[in-house]
Amino acid sequence: MLMKNKVALVTGGGSGIGRAIALAWAREGAKVVLSDIDVKAGEETAALVKAQGCEALFVTANVAKPGDSENLVARAMAQFGRLDVACNNAGIAGPAALTADYPLDGWAQVIDINLSGVFYGMKYQLGAMLKSGGGSIINIASILGSVGFATAPAYTASKHGVVGLTKAAALEYSAQGIRVNSVGPAFISTAMTSDLRNDPDINTMLVGSHPIGRLGRTEEVAELVLWLSSDKASFITGAYYPVDGGYLAR
């Protein structure tokens, strides 16, 4: 089992990609710590992890609040005594608007959650992993961490920032046994993309932008995160891995 005896933490674990990651880790024997602002959804994921015979800890946390990120890691350490893997997954899409028309409060919220939230998470995860003897951090970026997208300036900027932050941390901590990588999903069938998928014209456009001919599934992102979490990726750090059905090859 790839994650046997490892303690792994995922933010935004109540649904979508975060839930798929938690379940993939559980399948491979991890002790799973997950956070979300949605208490019901987070508890449901924890129950699903436990149903696979693994230990789970759910902690309510808003990643935009540094204190919540600190408490999340502290709870994981108190419960399990170590932290081996962390996936900073929580994020929002934000408003859709041209840059000149973009609402200031929308900009602040997207940056606070998608970029600052990853920084806050890593700040406390890194300290715990140093005490634990090393580990692996996976930051969920996006294909928009590599290219632009009209009407999504905040999301695009935040995800580019995640890729850069990942590289900086990898340079700082890889020699101390902590690998740091980012994953860039394309458009995945989740609640975040539901409004887009429910519009037939937009859905057709989105599907057509992926050469593979469909949108991605949460499990397909989770499998890559699982590999990066494991010792099989022991020489991989500072990298950005798209999971995009060929989107970026165009």
Model confidence pLDDT, tens digit, residues 53-82: 999 999 999 999 999 999 999 999 999 999
The percent of residues in the chain predicted with pLDDT above 90, rounded, is 92
The rounded percent of the chain whose pLDDT value lies above 70 is 100
The answer, yes or no, to whether residue 195 has pLDDT greater than 90, is: no
pLDDT of residue 165: 98
In this prediction, residue 68 carries a pLDDT of 98
* Domains, the chain: 7-243 (3.40.50.720)
The catalytic residue among 155, 173, 241, 247 is 155
Is position 247 annotated as part of the catalytic site?
A: no
Whole-number pLDDT of residue 197: 76
Asked which of 37-51, 161-175, 201-215 is least confident by mean pLDDT, the reply is: 201-215
Helix axes of 16-27 and 39-51: crossing angle, nearest 10 degrees = 20
What mean pLDDT do residues 201-214 have?
A: 91
**Single pTM value for the model:** 0.96
Q: Is the pLDDT of residue 129 over 80?
A: yes
Q: Give me the pLDDT at residue 192, please.
A: 76
Q: Looking at residue 189, what is its pLDDT? A: 87
Structure tokens at 164: 């850069």
Q: For position 217, what pLDDT does the model report? A: 96
pLDDT on residue 199: 82
